Structure 1
Amino acid sequence: MSRNLRDRRGRGDAGREDVEVSLGEGPVPSYDKRGGKKGGLLDLEISGVPATDLCAILSVYFVQGSMNLSRIALSLFLKDDLNLSPAQASLIESSSYIPWTVKPIYGFLSDSLPLNGYKRKSYLQICGILNSIAWLFFAYYVNSPALATVAIVGSAVGTACSDVVVDSIVVERSRDQETAGTLQSLCWMSYATGGIISSFFSGKLVENMGSRGVFKLTALVPLLTFLFSFVLHEERIKGSESKKPLASRIGSQTKRLAAAVKQPAILYPVIFIFIFQATPNPEGAFFFFKTEKLGFSPDFLGQVNFVSRVAMLLGIGFYNRSLKRVPLRTVFLWVIIVGFLLGSTQLLLISGYNRTLGISDEIFALGDSAVLTVLGQLSFMPLLVLAAQICPEGVEATLFATLMSILNSGSFIGTSLGASLTQLFGVTSENFDNMFSLVSTCLLLQLVPLMFLKLVPDDLTSEE
């Protein structure tokens, strides 16, 4: 079950920490509106937000969703080109979580260290270029696990930093609740659109272009962030505008965060969030099993990925319609139990019993992926809600970003534990004798968070 929510990288409004610091030290950064005759394209507004700003914002979310284009190519590259074992490939891919564990730092930098006079657009430009260079490096120069790790981390830094910066822009432009709701909906639609489109073509492109060819194509995607950042409205900061030193800001916020986290009402749910995410994830070994043992083609893997992305949207819709009024502790209880039961269906695919039931491997994999992705989304949504609910006034934005970093740290540990168990059970690209035992062990360990459910307040609901 948990393998379907690891890709989320702790999104939400995690980038608001820099906005909070601005509120503490002065006015929220404003954006200059183009002067001149009204009615031109540059003066067009959508939902109270300048159209050019909206294009810049949505482009970042679209790019984040579209980075799914390289997901299958990356896994196949590590397996076939670098000849890595399932455990080794899992560890290298898990390095992409590392830059997401330090999200508050990007916010502090963006807010306190303007580049070329800009606190937002300059960072978006650097992020777009860094992300693009990382994939070009992957396409032309990566020939070892170490270089692959460098490229993966470089791309993740560009994506994570741009995520923080664009979230802060969204908050700055959301002047009222109606605008905020509309803007957030547009952002998620843009993210989902990028993910669905890239998933649809990801497998076929690998078959036609090879992994390195897909990396070259992926390098073009972040350039959208770079290009659209130029149309973002932002006042240039003059040298006379003094700010408190970065070290002073970080020290002040760290003290406030430490005081907040020490409170049991915050500390206990944080422990649960971490444990929930840190359960072992055998996704890397499962990918090898599907390609080597079951013989799934890149094109079919792309179809599975596409179905998963559509199912993700269905999961969000179902949660908002049916579970918003249900206490979070109850939601977690049933998500864990149902996740264990439905996750056990993977054992049917591993044992081949699905064929005894008259269900082909391909059909079973598609259905299994769709169901588990919906369930994964149902478990991710209350995590975001819980993180938002426990944030006290005064440090809500920075603490939320910190909680998202903790969530991603848990995901990193969960993937690493999955890789360690893969090694322990001796599962390789040629030996899947213990695959059943590996997945069974991971499923059982995913029940561990049940022991810590009491750390979640029993009176919180998403609607609140």
Structure 2
Amino acid sequence: MVVITVGFMVQDVVADALSVQVAETDEEMGQIQTLGRMALLVGSISVGYLSGWLAAHIGTRATFACAMLLPLLVVASVPFIRISARARAAPPGGGDGGPLGGGKARLVLGVGLAYAAFTVALEALAVPFGQELVLVVSAALIGLLLHRVGISRAVVIAAIVIFLFRATPGVGQGYSYWAIDKLGFDQTFLGLLAQVSSILSLAGLLVFRKTIVTRPVSFTLGWVIVAGTVLYLPSIGLFYGLNEWLGLSARTFAFIDTTIAAPLAQLTMVPMLILIAKTAPRGAEATMFAIMASLMNLALSASELFTRYLNDAFNVTQADYSSLGRLMITVGAVGLVPLLALPLLKRQEHHL
């Protein structure tokens, strides 16, 4: 599993770095990031359907064998990659060579291994406030890496915006507990909603692709977060019986709500990837994407931590979700906080 995880991380970083190196213009860079996100969604949706069908018809071993052949398609496509003129003209990212800038690559690898050992040690020793310690140490290490790569005002602002957007807390499992116990939803129906959400997220990228690429990142992030908050209101209404007032069953209301809100689900990821690509130092794109990927994972960890804090504060558990409505309202309001960072990003975009 460790090898698989590392392999996935490396291929993700290389693909993101290529999006910078093959693009001639910023618009092309945005198009490539959008198409890459769409490809990821298509892959996850198709794998979800095909894996079960293939396993039933040709067996699990043959299914794994087919999956192992897919990387060969990537290798076969390498001769068709053409590096853009501006990428060829860019200075190398490090003075001592290497795919990630030589010494910087060794620094990233060394810090990553030290961090992994630290995390495992905290887990094994069951240290109190271990998750909080990991969060603080991770932030310090990422700050060190950004400093060594060559931090600038643009990178700092990009890091702040990305962290705020990814660190916003969610409702947690309380909503699922309530939906199953009170509304009679089962895992099959919740799985159906998840599949519909994935498909409509892909449709949202198709519909808004031009807007994402041509408009400033701050504009896209701004309207998506406002629209997402507005479209979150029906979920709050469902808790307070809005579906009964409208004469709809809970399942019908939830399905309609998912259909309306799902197209926006992936729209914030593409602008954030474009932002990373624009702020990455020439010749060190892979290093910057690797560090920013760590930052996004750190933000997700912070989001989980904040979600736990909110659930504890409102005392929402599997046995008691009477305060779930107030928790959902709070989460919706906190989701607007990243808007405060957009004026900084808007001023900085003129220099990108």
3-state SS of the aligned residue for 1:344?
helix
Structure 2 counterpart of 1:436, which letter? G
Q: CA deviation at 1:373?
A: 2.4
* Map of 1:418 onto structure 2: 307
Q: Is the 8 A contact 2:42 2:202 kept in 1?
A: no
Distance (whole Å) between structure 2 residues aligned to residue 373 and residue 444 of structure 1? 19
Q: Paired residue for 1:210?
A: none
Q: CA deviation at 1:282?
A: 1.3
Gaps of 5+ in 2: 53-58, 77-97, 112-143
Change (3 A) 1:260 1:456: farther
Q: 2:233 aligns with which of 323, 326, 344?
A: 344
Distance 2:299 2:62 in 1: 31
Aligned partners of 1:193, 1:456: CA distance in 2, in Å? 31
**Do 1:256 and 1:395's aligned partners in 2 also have CA atoms closer than 8 Å?**
no
Shift of 1:399: 0.6
Partner Cα distance (2:193, 2:204) in 1: 16
Q: Tell me if the contact between 1:346 and 1:368 (Cα under 8 Å) persists in the aligned partners.
A: yes
Alignment equivalent of 2:14, drawn from 146, 152, 168:
168
Contact 2:145–2:291 (Cα < 8 Å) also in 1? no
Structure 1 gap ranges (5+) = 1-129, 131-153, 206-216, 235-242
Which stretch of the first structure deviates more once superposed, 287-296 or 253-262? 253-262
Aligned-residue CA RMSD (Å): 4.3
The Cα offsets for residues 42-100 of structure 1, whole Å up to 9 and x where unpaired, read as xxxxxxxxxxxxxxxxxxxxxxxxxxxxxxxxxxxxxxxxxxxxxxxxxxxxxxxxxxx
Rounded Cα–Cα distance in structure 1 between residues aligned with 2:279 and 2:61: 39
In structure 2, distance between residues paired with 1:449 and 1:171: 26
Query: Do 1:329 and 1:456's aligned partners in 2 also have CA atoms closer than 8 Å?
Result: yes
Instruction: Judge conservation of contact 1:200–1:303 (CA < 8 Å) in 2.
Output: no
Paired residues of 1:200 and 1:306 also in contact (CA < 8 A)? no
Does residue 361 of the first structure (1) align with residue 210 of the second (2)?
no
Following superposition, the deviation at residue 393 of structure 1 comes to 1.1
After TM superposition, the structure 1 = structure 2 runs for residues 26-425 of structure 1, keeping only pairs within 5 Å, are 130=1, 158-159=4-5, 161-165=7-11, 168=14, 191-197=40-46, 224-226=66-68, 228=70, 249-251=105-107, 257-260=146-149, 262-425=151-314
Asked if the contact 1:199/1:302 (under 8 Å) is kept, the reply is no
- Give the C-alpha shift of residue 232 in structure 1: 7.5
Distance in 2 between residues matched to 1:256 and 1:411, nearest whole Å? 19
2:104–2:148 contact (8 Å) kept in structure 1: no
> SS of the residue aligned with 2:321?
coil
- Give the secondary structure class of the aligned counterpart of 2:317: coil
Residue correspondences, number: 291
Amino acid at match of 2:45: I
* Partner residue, 1:113: none
Q: Which moved more, 1:392-401 or 1:272-281?
A: 392-401
- The question of 1:450 aligning with 2:299 is answered no
Distance 1:419 1:194, change over 3 A: same
Moved more, 338-347 or 186-195: 186-195
CA deviation profile, 1:303-332 (whole Å, cap 9, x unmatched): 111110111111211221234222222222
Contact 1:427 1:434 in 2 (8 A): yes
**In structure 2, C-alpha distance between the alignment counterparts of 1:193 and 1:257, rounded to whole Å:** 33
Alpha-carbon deviation of 1:414?
0.8
> What is the CA-CA distance between 1:342 and the residue it aligns to?
1.4
Residue of structure 2 in register with 1:16 after alignment = none
* Matches of 2:257 and 2:60, distance apart in 1: 28
In structure 2, relative to structure 1, the CA distance for the partners of 1:394 and 1:457 (3 Å cut) is farther
Identity level (%): 27
- C-alpha distance in 2, partners of 1:409/1:258? 17
Q: Distance in 2 between matches of 1:233 and 1:188?
A: 20
Kindly provide the CA deviation profile for residues 256-284 of structure 1, in whole angstroms up to 9, marking residues without a partner as x. Answer: 84245531121122111101111111142
TM-score by length of 1: 0.52
Return the alpha-carbon distance in structure 2 between the equivalents of residues 403 and 195 of structure 1: 23
